[in-house]
């Protein structure tokens, strides 16, 4: 039984896996991560191994305590990955992107796969049917686009994400919604179309915090999976444990 610890800016996702099956998932505040882990340790006594992603936000004392409970693996560029990494700057590749590509290897082996993670940023990651990771793209996420319009102008308001009723905004608010949401949708659909032109039999995965909001509005055929990153982290842990 494995514990996956995915550390964000202020929140931490905790997930328990057994033989590749997700048994439990929860989100806790960063300051309460040890309390959350202790509760899981009591509820799932079979947890033996753990993987920590984005360790820079956890202090050494916290990592040391977690390591006293489990056999802990820390995800970084030195860890063996289940794909051939052709990224020119592999040490700068985000651990979240490593995990997403790893999940695609486990679940869609021998396929050309484009993974789109719609979170704080929108990341695009492409791996070939020959198990070669080529790279992708990074662009501003949905909230970042709304915030930038507010932060970098004098009069535009900060709005919550909302599906536009029309391509034509008839007020400042509806114009912002149209520009932000249609802009990101056209970007994603356009990228998928470009990859489809270059690579046959393309599988597209959409994940991340805004995946559900965006998936219903995209024209392209996709698989939406909110747990894809967690599944990738668990697979990296299994892959290295079997070495």
pLDDT digits (tens, 9 = 90+) for 101-112: 999 999 999 999
**Number of residues that this document lists for the chain:** 243
92 in a known ligand binding site = no
- Tens-place pLDDT, residues 169-210: 999 999 999 999 999 999 999 999 999 999 988 999 999 999
**Domain edges within the chain:** 2-74, 84-228
Instruction: For the sheet with 71-74, list strands across it.
Output: 21-29, 11-18, 2-7, 49-53, 71-74
Q: Coil, strand or helix: which one is 55?
A: helix
172 in a known ligand binding site = yes
- pLDDT, residue 50, reads 97
Selected catalytic residue, list 96, 170, 189, 201: 96
Model confidence at 44: pLDDT above 80: yes
* CATH for the stretch 84-228: 3.30.420.40
- pLDDT, residue 51, reads 97
Question: Of all helices (H) and strands (E), which one includes residue 100?
Answer: helix 95-107
Q: Coil, strand or helix: which one is 226?
A: coil
Q: Is 96 a catalytic residue?
A: yes
Model confidence at 10: pLDDT above 80: no
- pLDDT, residue 55, reads 62
List the end-to-end C-alpha distance of the chain, in Å, as a whole number.
17
Tell me which fold the domain 2-74 belongs to: Nucleotidyltransferase; domain 5 (3.30.420)
202 in a known ligand binding site = no
Matching CATH topology for 2-74 and 84-228? yes
Residues facing residue 136 across a β-bridge: 125
């Amino acid at each position: 039984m494995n514990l996956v610890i995915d550390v964000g800016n202020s929140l931490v996702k905790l997930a328990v896996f057994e033989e590749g099956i997700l048994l439990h998932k929860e989100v806790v505040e960063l300051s309460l991560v040890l309390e959350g882990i202790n509760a899981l340790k009591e509820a799932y006594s079979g947890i033996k191994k753990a993987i920590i992603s984005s360790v820079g936000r956890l202090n050494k004392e916290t990592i040391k305590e977690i390591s006293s409970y489990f056999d802990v693996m820390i995800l970084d560029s030195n860890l063996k990955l289940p794909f051939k990494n052709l990224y020119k700057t592999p040490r700068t590749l985000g651990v979240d992107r490593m995990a997403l590509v790893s999940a695609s290897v486990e679940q869609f082996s021998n396929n050309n796969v484009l993974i789109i993670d719609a979170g704080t940023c929108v990341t695009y990651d492409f791996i070939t049917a020959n198990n070669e990771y080529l790279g992708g793209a990074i662009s501003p996420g949905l909230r970042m686009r709304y915030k930038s319009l507010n932060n970098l102008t004098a009069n535009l308001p900060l709005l919550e994400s909302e599906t536009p009723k029309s391509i034509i905004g008839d007020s400042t608010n509806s114009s912002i919604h149209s520009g932000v949401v249609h802009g990101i949708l056209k970007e994603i659909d356009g990228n998928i179309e470009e990859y489809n032109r270059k690579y046959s039999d393309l599988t597209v995965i959409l994940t991340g915090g805004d995946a559900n909001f965006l998936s219903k509005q995209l024209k392209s055929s996709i698989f939406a999976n909110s747990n894809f990153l967690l599944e990738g982290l668990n697979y990296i842990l299994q892959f290295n444990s079997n070495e």
